[in-house]
Amino acid sequence: MQYSEIMVRYGELSTKGKNRQSFIGRLNGNVAKALHEFPGLTIRPKRDRLHIELNGEDADAVMARLSQVFGIQSFSPSLAVEKDMTKVHEQVLALMNETVPEGSSYKVNTRRSDHEFELDTNAMNLDVGDFLSDARPDLVVKMKDPDFILRVEVRREAIFLSTTTIKGAGGLPVGTAGKAMLMLSGGIDSPVAGYYALKRGVEIEMVHFFSPPYTSDNALAKAKELTAKLAPYVGGIKFIQVPFTEVQEEVKAKVPEGYLMTVQRRMMLRLTEAIAQQRDGLAIFNGESVGQVASQTLESMAAINDVTTMPIIRPVATMDKNEIIAVAEDIDTYDLSIMPFEDCCTIFAPPAPKTRPKTDRARYYETKIDVDGLMARALEGIKITEIKASDQFMNQATDLIAELL
Amino acid sequence: MIYFDNSATTKALPEVLDTYRKVSEDFFANPSSLHALGGKADEMLQSARHQIADLIAAKPSEIFFTSGGTEGDNWIIKGTAMAKRQFGKHLITTSIEHPAVINSMKQLEKLGFDVTYLPVDSRGFIHVEDLKAAIRKDTILVSVMGVNNEIGSKQPIAEIGDLLEAYPNIHFHVDAVQAIGKGLMKALRHPRVDFITFSGHKFHAPRGTGFIYAKEGRLIDPLLTGGGQEHDWRSGTENTPAIAAMAKALRLLLSDEDKKVAQQQAVRERIYQHVSQFDNVTMFSQLSDDFAPHVLCFAIEGVRGETTVHAFETHDIYISTTSACSSKKGTESSTLAAMHVRQSIATSAIRVSLDEHNTVAEADAFNAAFDAIYADFQKLNPVNRKETVRAI
């Protein structure tokens, strides 16, 4: 069946009052970015719906991309028919035959924006229902909770038919909630936190600490690849790599073992805050989950959080590991996350970190290191790259392999 | 040279060997090594796994690489026995399986397992009713081959799958070594099939490589323990070049599968129509749909199979007695014995087995050679037709 358009229903933004126009504008931009590889499309944002005219592009491929765009409640592939009831009947039958199996229940649901059309809403429902009871006697009409709803939209340009409604990604259009930094390690949790940030409309930039030669190029490539996994939700994500070797060596040399981890994390958070301030970020997201590891007890969080007043948002704070893994699998970051490369959180991990560090102790030990100098040098060494959905970092030999297989 | 012994092994394709050589050179590192070369080798390995999974409509996590059909059969049978022994010790297979299955079962019998060998009818097929009657409360495995390697009978895999829907705890294994690329994917991938054995060298990949399909959620114990490769299911450093070559060979095999099946059917039919006219020939394979397109087994009464094989050899045509695995022992075929074919005829059986590259012209050359060989045999060893009654 060659559909003529995808009709997109907005998510929460229909309730957002005055901001509506900017929300729709942002969603329109995000949809256009997500669908950039289909040049034939025409996207028409309207007050309550967004219409994507396919002009011959493949509906399934377009919908697969669309399902990753936040701010969409649902969408329906639709068939445009000339405003002639004989043609409408013909297409209704073709559509029902293709999409509605024998013996299903259904109802007809008409919306009419063209009030000059000969049939009004009720008359249209009746006419189409009447036609179908003859053409598809196997179907049962059911008003409450039918298997299928045949939607008929009478618009000025044509009549649109659809039987399928696909759930969208929900959430808010990315960018409508402002910008924040995500501390991306390479583990399972931080990409999931990033996904939730994007879902609430936050534009995130990845902050990744790397410590060559203690961490390998693989670890860096893995973090970039994880970023590429989240990129389809936005189009592109900035990846900020922060050199952390000097900080870690200095902390290791000067701070007692029990506080190594706490002080390292305080330095990471300070650096992330500084980067956020430079780049107009309003908050910091991370993948901490209460009690999961020594650095994520409430005592640890308090001792680490002490260095900043910027909001720190922890989307997975109260989730169980299994729940986090389930989401990671859904967004296809899990297999990457479990690849065994040392990251900067594990290389200098003491055998017995304090699970209940004290804030004043952490502050005291920090006086032994040159916080300002270390930070200045780390910030100087920052490298920023823009990562797109199609970018590949882990699998450098892909083309050669495809050729050999 | 006419090679008609493809069920014994196939000739590796030049483009497959090309991949083998290039992967040996450029992806030689151990896929488990942490360095970049290891990562590259691992990427090759996982890409091959992906490709094979896609080709048989499975998930990559359901594909495990082995050294071939024998290992696959041994692993699934013994692995099931080990993993499920607390639930029961009864296994069911058929009396016409490949020795890799039969002898695994025999070994388990020595360990106290109970095995039922289902009989076959005179055409070489098991009956689903017999299977149903054999199932017990303590049955843990049903193992049935997709295509018999000696006569080519296609066993009723889909029907068995339907029957086993009512017995969700029994592992269902299909030995598909002879079934791959023969238009049988739909039956093999019946939703109730839990394990499938494949062997690379039967489809133009190098020797020493194969894979099994193991349905997600179905557990067996490993046979080879060690360094934890293949998610700890099958240890041993992965044979990356052979695996990559096999992935390529499978892709080539399954492209235009229908056309290739039709081609083999045409070659087989050409030979069948010719040799079946002769009085002293008994056909074991049939042209009907329930036989695979590539196997043709028949006997020239009064002449030992081995003699016929050597006679064809002088015409530069290569065939075999029933199966390569038992042919050197000079014993009668186990499949024909299970079909209750009289021993004097069974020992005369020969097998022509085709691949997608064989042609009708080759069939004609075979038929011409057959005429000459047959005439010679009748001179040397005339059979008194009154005394030999056809076995089937």
Q: In this predicted model, which residue has the larger pLDDT, A399 or B215?
A: B215
Q: What is the pLDDT of residues B290-338, one digit of tens each?
A: 999 999 999 999 899 999 999 999 999 999 997 555 555 545 568 999 9
Q: Which amino acid is at B67?
A: S
- Considering only the C-alpha atoms of chain A, give the largest distance between any 2 of them, rounded to a whole number of Å: 86
Amino acid A335: pLDDT: 87
State the helix-helix crossing angle for A257-278 and A298-305, rounded to 10 degrees: 50
Q: What is the pLDDT of residues B95-129, one digit of tens each?
A: 999 999 999 999 999 999 999 999 999 999 999 99
8 Å CB contact of B244 and A404: yes
- Compute the radius of gyration of chain A from its Cα atoms: 27
d(CA A273, CA A180): 10
Would you say the ipTM is above 0.85? no
Q: Is A296 annotated as a binding residue?
A: yes
Q: Which of B368, B366, B372 has the alpha carbon at shortest distance from B350? A: B366
Of B34, B40, B248, the CB nearest to A405: B248
8 Å CB contact of A405 and B40: no
β-bridge mates for residue B296, sequence order: B352
Q: What is the pLDDT of residues A217-245, one digit of tens each?
A: 888 999 999 999 998 888 789 999 999 99
d(CA B58, CA B55): 8
Amino acid B181: pLDDT: 96
The number of angstroms, rounded, from the C-alpha of B193 to the middle of its chain's C-alpha atoms is 16
Contacts of residue A252, defined as CB under 8 A and 6 or more positions apart, other chains included, come to A260, A348
Quickly state the pLDDT bin for B382 (edges 50, 70, 90): low
Helix, strand, or coil (residue A84): coil
Would you say B41 and B52 are in contact if contact means Cβ atoms under 8 Å apart?
A: no
| B228–chain A Cβ distance below 8 A for any pair | no
Q: Is A287 annotated as a binding residue?
A: yes
Contacts of residue A373, defined as CB under 8 A and 6 or more positions apart, other chains included, come to none
Residue A397: closest CA among chain B residues belongs to which residue?
Answer: B40
For B386, the token pair is 């009154």
Q: Is A209 annotated as a binding residue?
A: yes
Pick B14-254's CATH classification: 3.40.640.10, 1.50.10.10, 3.30.70.3420, 3.40.50.2300: 3.40.640.10
Amino acid B392: pLDDT: 46
Catalytic residues of B: 325
d(CA B189, CA B58): 9
Contacts of residue A387, defined as CB under 8 A and 6 or more positions apart, other chains included, come to A206, A224, A227, A228, A231, A236, A237, A238, A239
Q: Which amino acid is at B376?
A: D
Q: Is A314 annotated as a binding residue?
A: no
Helix, strand, or coil (residue B94): strand
d(CA B317, CA B314): 7
Of A217, A341, A401, the CB nearest to B43: A401
Give the least confident one: A58-62, B171-175, B365-369. A58-62
Q: Which amino acid is at A186?
A: G
Q: What is the DSSP letter of A114?
A: -
8 Å CB contact of B47 and A402: yes
d(CA A271, CA A181): 11
Q: Which residues in A11-127 belong to E strands, given as ranges?
A: 42-45, 49-53, 72-81, 105-112
Q: Which of residues 234-263 of B touch A (CB under 8 A)?
A: 244, 247-248, 251
d(CA A220, CA A213): 12
d(CA B381, CA B303): 8
Q: Which of A32, A28, A50, A30 has the alpha carbon at shortest distance from A41? A: A32
Domains, chain A, ranges and CATH? 5-167 (3.30.2130.30), 179-401 (3.40.50.620)
Enumerate the domain spans of chain B: 2-7+256-384, 14-254
Q: Which amino acid is at B191?
A: P
- Count of other CB atoms within 10 angstroms of residue A134: 8
> Is pLDDT above 60 for B361?
yes
Amino acid B331: pLDDT: 53
Size of interface A-B (CB pairs under 8 A): 36
Q: Which helix (H) or strand (E) holds B128?
A: helix B128-134
8 Å CB contact of B44 and A395: no
The fold of the B2-7+256-384 domain, in CATH, is Aspartate Aminotransferase, domain 1 (3.90.1150)
Q: Which amino acid is at B247?
A: A
Q: What is the pLDDT of residues B233-244, one digit of tens each?
A: 999 999 999 999
Measured torsion, CA atoms of residues A266, A269, A270, A276, in degrees rounded to the nearest 10: 180
- Count of other CB atoms within 10 angstroms of residue A164: 17
Helix, strand, or coil (residue A148): strand
For A362, the token pair is 């952490």
Q: What is the pLDDT of residues B22-74, one digit of tens each?
A: 999 999 999 999 888 898 999 999 999 999 999 999 999 999 999 999 999 99
**Over pLDDT 90: what percentage of chain B?**
87
| B48–chain A Cβ distance below 8 A for any pair | yes
Amino acid B325: pLDDT: 53
Q: Which of residues 332-371 of A touch B (CB under 8 A)?
A: 340-341
Question: In terms of DSSP H, where are the helices of A214-256?
Answer: 217-230, 245-254
Q: Is A184 annotated as a binding residue?
A: yes
Residue A404: closest CA among chain B residues belongs to which residue?
Answer: B19
Q: Does the reported pTM lie above 0.90?
A: no
> Is pLDDT above 50 for B389?
no
Of B27, B43, B251, the CB nearest to A395: B43
8 Å CB contact of B22 and A404: yes
8 Å CB contact of B40 and A404: no
Instruction: Indicate the length of chain B as a whole number.
Output: 392
Q: What is the pLDDT along chain A (405 residues), one digit of tens a residue?
A: 789 999 999 877 655 677 788 888 888 988 988 888 898 999 998 888 899 999 999 999 999 889 889 999 999 999 999 999 999 999 999 999 999 999 999 999 999 988 889 899 999 999 999 999 999 999 999 999 999 999 999 998 899 999 999 999 899 999 888 999 999 988 999 999 999 999 999 999 999 999 988 888 888 999 999 999 998 888 789 999 999 999 999 999 999 988 999 999 999 999 999 999 999 999 999 999 998 887 889 999 999 999 999 999 999 999 999 999 999 999 999 988 888 777 766 667 777 778 889 999 999 999 999 999 999 999 999 999 999 877 888 766 777 888 888
Q: Which of A9, A321, A373, A50 has the alpha carbon at shortest distance from A167? A: A9
